[in-house]
Amino acid sequence: MLPPVTGDTGETGVAPPSLATLDDVARRAGVSPATASRALSDHPHVAATTRARVREAAAALDYVASPEASRLAGGRTGRVAALVPHPARWFFGELLEGLEGELRAADLDLLLFRVGGPEERADFFRRLPARRKVDAVVVLAAPVDVAEQARLASLGVAVVVAGGRLAPYPSVGIDDHVAGRQAVDHLVHLGHRRIGLLTTADDARAGAWRAALADAGIAPDDELVATVAPGGEGGADGMARLLGLRHPPTAVFAHDDETALGAVRTLRRAGLRVPEDLSVIGVDDHPLAALADLTTVAQPVRTQGRRAGQLVLAALHGEHPDTAELLPTRLVLRGSTSPPAGGAPR
């Protein structure tokens, strides 16, 4: 145990450890601790004058309730767990910031749980370290299977999903199909006919690619689909694969900006110019996308985090917001897309 640092209780501006307990306040106000408690926590059935007297006493004593005691007795923890696959990634970091802000404002603390790989996920759900420690769990764009959902239920806590959707829980996210359409439609409008796809497993945006092409009367060519690992390196690899085709695409839609940036690197190394030789578009509006002059479909990530926070608060208030909110996405035109080399046919 770390002994409290001694000495220097002087007027240095450092507050002395607040020692006043609820009993002290009650005594000073001439009421029972029970009443004092009720008065301070805005319960009904407390006379206005009594409440005032208690408040005054509390203020005079610099009283601050001990959260530990309060929560032990009251059942709540005042904490929320965030399950995040990869905190260092911009998308999750941004989500976290939004969430944190909202929770902080409500005086809730945020516990960070990294659940990246399958084994970490398994470990989390096996040990359920969040047990007893939080009032709610926010799942950030992480997959949760049915067994794990049951496990979550056994925690008896509220669950909220951000950056995606998950069957029975309230969630915030974007409409991946719409986002995908915005991207691919843009390429189509520019006149591209041979549009490649850099997708990750299980990607709703891939469906949009297919649909957009179909609508434009173009038969989706599976040869143009490269399934890649998430992240820039994956994008680089995938692009290389597409370049190896006999008829490479004239434009590529990447699942996200990092993937797109990887693709751009491969193109550069191959001596190809973007967008003259090949157009590239991503999704996210990652800050570095602006630096790389990447056309993209922007999504409001921070806002998703904030909304998730609000959903948590609602859930904690006993509401059961049965929503699956979808936030709007927006095409951001930059310098990585242009009509295909030969000019738009037609």
Partner DNA sequence: CGGACAAATGGAAGCGCTTGCGGGAGGAGA
Partner DNA sequence: TCTCCTCCCGCAAGCGCTTCCATTTGTCCG
**Please, which of residues 68-87 interact with DNA by CB under 7 A?**
69-70, 72-75
The residue from 33, 55, 111, 185 that contacts a second copy (CB under 8 A) is 111
Position 35 contacts DNA (CB under 7 A): yes
Angle, helix 22-29 to helix 48-61, in steps of 10 degrees: 120
Residue 34 binds what, of a second copy, DNA, none (CB under 5 to 8 Å, by partner type)?
DNA
Position 227 contacts DNA (CB under 7 A): no
Position 95 contacts DNA (CB under 7 A): no
Cα-Cα-Cα-Cα torsion 299, 300, 301, 306, nearest 10 degrees, comes to -160
Total residues binding a second copy (CB under 8 A):
86
CB-wise, 198 or 212, nearer to a second copy? Answer: 198
| String marking each residue 26-65 x if it binds a second copy according to CB under 8 A | ------------------------------------x-xx
Tokens of 231: 């992240």
**CA neighbours within 13 Å on the CB side: how many for 44?**
0
The residue from 7, 12, 17, 34 that contacts DNA (CB under 7 A) is 34
Residue 147 binds what, of DNA, a second copy, none (CB under 5 to 8 Å, by partner type)?
a second copy
Return d(Cα 34, Cα 13) in angstroms, integer: 33
CB-wise, 30 or 287, nearer to a second copy? Answer: 287
Return d(Cα 154, Cα 53) in angstroms, integer: 43
| String marking each residue 269-308 x if it binds DNA according to CB under 7 A | ----------------------------------------
Q: Which residues lie near DNA (CB under 7 A)? A: 1, 19, 21-23, 30-35, 37-38, 40-41, 43-47, 49-51, 63, 65-66, 69-70, 72-75
